């Protein structure tokens, strides 16, 4: 299968860092329009979200309950609901994360007053009252118009429990369907994406890969397809550099799965300080981009192991947790993973999405962690206030790439070697076509210098192009409650069309999207 090629030609990689940052970057983005293959698309699911019972992701973030003074629709807060509709969320993973392997779905159905409480042992010992359960999640997906992605409990649950959950959700008739109907939902929901455990090498049961492969085969057997519902079963995969896990799972269970997951966080390390979300120097910034881009090497290595067992790429790699992980904000519960989100996070989102676009032959879904108030969120909420993060705006800018046809491209740009020896291109790009438009998204990571980007495009005229830009005065700028937004999407017209070239002046530390009428 043909797929996006993006070779970064390191034209000036031999220049010293000082020389690199002394002048306007000159970059060329060559779109290979003639090589477009209409079968090579960017699955909308690359833009997936993840909502866990963790801190105020669900409670306060998505759900406030029908009796809340915060404006809501059947318990879902209106401001967040609208923001997520605007984002065109394609798929949402729930209820965890680590929470999933301690969650018993029967606790979250039926009259709220009868639902048992539990302690959320993974996340700060918070008391969970189960008022947000299966019905609340599936109804939310219907309201937003996204596919539900369920994470089943393998670590502390039973085969029967998971089998009955699938039946409760998807069967037209029978004992589980009757129970669902008694609880107010006549029609079954559709359930496509089913995760069988989460991080089964750790919080999901501390399995060895061999033991988990056996458990996976057993659990998934009893997850039946009722009344025309088709399941896309996803096995719990590796954490970043754990290639053995992928090897064993592919060897022992590949014929029983549609997807194998991968978790990769842009994080300094798991022990000690991860660094503050809003306080960092230039060196830290560039390091972060190097670490985030390493996901591409990691995908390549997992992919090549999978190729050994599955050269036709029938099993997808599902990156169902990714994003930045910083220290929690001072004064917040350390178990709640609440962090701010700056223009640096926006850069991580853009570079990661570009990387996923380059691997759609194997990577069919990703889910950024997480949708609200946890890690690299789309929205932050405080009482009745909501803030859209810089990352939210990146997802908004990139939405036209969902289900679009990939346009192969080459980027000629300088590169920068960052702390730890990783290499980061100054200018990155991604492009796709859909509905008669060519959408090109450009990123200039340089903190000081603009980039003059030339895009050869026959017959291009300025009035065929509409642009938007995301940038900020400072790379550590962020949006906060009770003040005007500092990082916001703005119209952009810093481009000229002449003699078959679109010339774009890309400001320092900016992300630009161009919508070009074909």
Q: How far apart are CA 9 and CA 16, in angstroms?
A: 17
Smallest distance, ligand AHR to C-beta of residue 229, A? 26
Nearest one of 462, 466, 508, 474 to 490, comparing CA atoms: 466
Smallest distance, ligand AHR to C-beta of residue 463, A? 45
Smallest distance, ligand AHR to C-beta of residue 71, A? 28
Angle between helices 209-221 and 159-170 (to 10 degrees): 40
Q: How far apart are CA 200 and CA 220, in angstroms?
A: 14
Smallest distance, ligand AHR to C-beta of residue 80, A? 18
3-state secondary structure of 357: helix
> For the chain, how far is it from start to end, CA to CA, in angstroms?
26
Q: How far apart are CA 156 and CA 136, in angstroms?
A: 23
* 262 or 386: CB nearest ligand AHR: 262
Smallest distance, ligand AHR to C-beta of residue 51, A? 10
Smallest distance, ligand AHR to C-beta of residue 203, A? 6
Smallest distance, ligand AHR to C-beta of residue 63, A? 18
Q: Is 327 exposed, middle or buried (0-12, 13-18, 19+ CB in 10 A)?
A: middle
Which residue lies nearest ligand AHR, judged by its C-beta?
Answer: 97
Q: Which residue has the tokens 């959320």?
A: 120
Strands annotated E in 109-227:
118-120, 126-128, 147-152, 193-196
* 150 or 469: CB nearest ligand AHR: 150
Whether the bond into 370 is cis, omega within 30 of 0: yes
3-state secondary structure of 513: strand
* 31 or 262: CB nearest ligand AHR: 262
Q: Which residue has the tokens 């949402």?
A: 92
* 198 or 341: CB nearest ligand AHR: 198
Smallest distance, ligand AHR to C-beta of residue 236, A? 9
Q: Is 15 exposed, middle or buried (0-12, 13-18, 19+ CB in 10 A)?
A: middle
* 335 or 507: CB nearest ligand AHR: 335
Q: Which residue has the tokens 């937004």?
A: 485
Q: How far apart are CA 338 and CA 387, in angstroms?
A: 13
**For residue 59, which phi and psi values (nearest 5 degrees)?**
-80, 115
Smallest distance, ligand AHR to C-beta of residue 282, A? 28
* 147 or 199: CB nearest ligand AHR: 199
Determine whether 321 is an active site residue: yes
Whether the bond into 316 is cis, omega within 30 of 0: no
Determine whether 136 is an active site residue: no
Binding positions for ligand AHR, rule: CB under 6 A: 52, 96-98, 198-199, 321, 369-370, 375
* 57 or 387: CB nearest ligand AHR: 57
Contact partners, residue 79, CB within 8 Å, separation at least 6: 71, 381, 386
* 81 or 203: CB nearest ligand AHR: 203
CA-to-CA dists, residue 224 to 176, 197, 233, angstroms = 13, 17, 11
CA-to-CA dists, residue 457 to 32, 394, 450, 460, 506, angstroms = 10, 25, 21, 6, 17
DSSP 34: G
* 195 or 275: CB nearest ligand AHR: 195
Please pick, among 186, 199, 210, 412, the residue that the annotation labels catalytic.
199
Please pick, among 102, 167, 321, 412, the residue that the annotation labels catalytic.
321
Contact partners, residue 83, CB within 8 Å, separation at least 6: 378, 379, 386, 388, 392
Please identify every residue annotated as catalytic: 199, 321
């Amino acid at each position: 299968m043909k797929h996006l090629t993006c070779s970064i030609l390191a034209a000036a990689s031999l220049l010293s860092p000082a020389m690199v940052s002394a002048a306007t970057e000159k970059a060329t983005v060559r779109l290979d329009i003639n090589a477009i293959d209409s079968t090579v698309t960017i699955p909308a699911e690359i833009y997936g979200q993840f909502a866990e019972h963790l801190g105020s992701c669900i409670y306060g973030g998505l759900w406030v309950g029908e009796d809340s003074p915060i404006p809501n629709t059947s318990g879902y807060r209106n401001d967040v609901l609208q923001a997520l509709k605007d984002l065109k969320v394609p798929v949402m993973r729930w209820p965890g994360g680590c929470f999933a392997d301690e969650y018993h779905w029967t606790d979250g159905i039926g009259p709220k007053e009868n639902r048992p409480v539990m302690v959320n042992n993974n996340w700060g010992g918070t008391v969970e009252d189960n008022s947000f359960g299966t019905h609340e999640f599936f109804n939310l997906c219907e309201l937003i118009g996204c596919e539900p992605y369920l994470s089943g409990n393998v670590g502390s649950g039973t085969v029967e429990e998971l089998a009955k959950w699938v039946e409760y959700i998807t069967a037209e008739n029978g004992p589980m369907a009757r129970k669902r109907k008694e609880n107010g939902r006549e029609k079954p929901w559709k359930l496509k994406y089913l995760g069988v455990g989460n991080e089964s090498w750790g919080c999901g049961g501390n399995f060895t890969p061999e033991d988990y492969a056996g458990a996976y085969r057993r659990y998934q057997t009893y997850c039946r397809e009722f009344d025309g519902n088709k399941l896309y079963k996803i096995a719990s995969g590796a954490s970043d550099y754990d290639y053995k896990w992928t090897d064993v799972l592919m060897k022992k269970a590949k014929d029983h799965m549609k997807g194998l997951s991968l978790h990769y966080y842009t994080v300094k390390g798991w022990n000690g300080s991860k660094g503050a979300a809003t306080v960092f120097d230039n060196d830290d910034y560039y390091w972060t981009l190097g670490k985030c881009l390493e996901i591409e090497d990691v995908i390549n290595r997992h992919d090549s192991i999978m190729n050994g067992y599955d050269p036709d790429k029938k099993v997808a790699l599902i990156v169902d947790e990714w994003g930045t992980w910083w220290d929690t904000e001072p004064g917040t519960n350390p178990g709640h993973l609440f962090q701010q989100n700056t223009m640096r996070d926006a850069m991580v989102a853009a570079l990661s999405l570009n990387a996923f676009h380059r691997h759609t032959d194997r990577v069919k879904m990703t889910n950024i962690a997480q949708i609200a108030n946890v890690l690299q969120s789309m929205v932050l909420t405080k009482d009745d206030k909501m803030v859209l993060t810089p990352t939210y705006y990146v997802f908004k800018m990139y939405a036209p790439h969902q289900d679009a046809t990939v346009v192969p491209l080459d980027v000629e740009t300088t590169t920068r070697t960052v702390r730890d020896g990783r290499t980061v291109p100054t200018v990155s790009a991604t492009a796709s076509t859909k509905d008669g438009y060519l959408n090109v998204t450009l990123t200039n990571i340089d903190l000081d210098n603009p980039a003059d980007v030339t895009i050869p495009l026959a017959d291009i005229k300025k009035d065929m192009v509409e642009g938007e830009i995301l940038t900020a005065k400072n790379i550590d700028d962020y949006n906060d409650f009770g003040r005007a937004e500092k990082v916001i999407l703005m119209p952009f017209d810093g481009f000229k069309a002449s003699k078959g070239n679109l010339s774009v002046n890309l400001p320092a530390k900016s992300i630009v999207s161009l919508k070009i009428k074909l």
